[in-house]
Chain A
């Protein structure tokens, strides 16, 4: 499965468009991480816990998108975009979407 945020893949022709596929994941932070973040808010610096948390949930969202793409029989997802929104205090939604296609 090829994932790309380009509209075309160099050297490959799109045989069929299968429409939009998407995946999302809503995650909440936990108290331990929040406490560390509170400290870091005084001293500054990177919040590694949050970086990992967001990375993991983005991967999960991507996996869900790929599962959808496989279900419709695609072999590539093109023009992929990421989007982040905070749905409630302390929870964020990571959303990823793209076009499922069959490449030659």
Chain B
């Protein structure tokens, strides 16, 4: 009986705090995405031709996000019925977008105009009870192209 009460309390706590955390995280992600849209992240391997006036430097961003009790419970339920596990989908989506934002933030502080060859690396670093995912880490990295004189910076700005 006590176990059941603890379980229900944890479930409600997870639902309440987890949803609040997710909503505020999404809000901040959307806000920063609008701001950092000026620095395009490009997944192409080949840097622009005829652009010798760029310095390049590796930039990266990482984030570790934890699941909450409710997400884990609903994912366990999904294991019975199959189908999309939306609770984990939003978790991974948040982590990837956050990692890209942190990478772009680093690129911005270096004065870069674009980031090339974006690669993602995902790892579940902390296994919870019964081998369920406790938290996930996403790393995003790429090469920031930094215009090395004022004129280049200006034309790069015009090109956008």
Cβ–Cβ contact A43 & B21, under 8 A: yes
Cβ–Cβ contact A84 & B139, under 8 A: yes
- List residues of A (14-35) whose CB comes within 8 Å of B's CBs: 29
Cβ–Cβ contact B121 & A3, under 8 A: no
- B85 interface contact, C-beta 8 A: no
Cβ–Cβ contact A8 & B47, under 8 A: yes
Residue with the highest number of chain B CB atoms closer than 10 Å, among A47, A54, A55: A47
Residue with the highest number of chain B CB atoms closer than 10 Å, among A11, A37, A43, A54: A43
Chain A, 54-69, contact with B by CB distance < 8 Å: what is the 0/1 string?
1100100000000000
User: Which residues of chain A have C-beta atoms less than 8 A from B51's C-beta?
Assistant: 10-11
What count of chain A residues pass the 8 Å CB interface test? 36
Cβ–Cβ contact A10 & B48, under 8 A: yes
> With A4-B143, A8-B47, A44-B14 in contact, is A37–B56 under 8 Å at CB?
no
Complex: A40 Cα to B47 Cα, angstroms: 41
- List residues of B (28-60) whose CB comes within 8 Å of A's CBs: 45-48, 51-54, 56-58, 60
User: Which residues of chain A have C-beta atoms less than 8 A from B66's C-beta?
Assistant: 37, 40-41, 44-47
User: Which residues of chain A have C-beta atoms less than 8 A from B53's C-beta?
Assistant: 11
Chain B, 1-23, contact with A by CB distance < 8 Å: what is the 0/1 string?
00000000010011001100110
Cβ–Cβ contact B68 & A5, under 8 A: no
- B75 interface contact, C-beta 8 A: no
Complex: A7 Cα to B116 Cα, angstroms: 11
Q: How far is the CB of B153 from chain A (nearest CB, A)?
A: 15
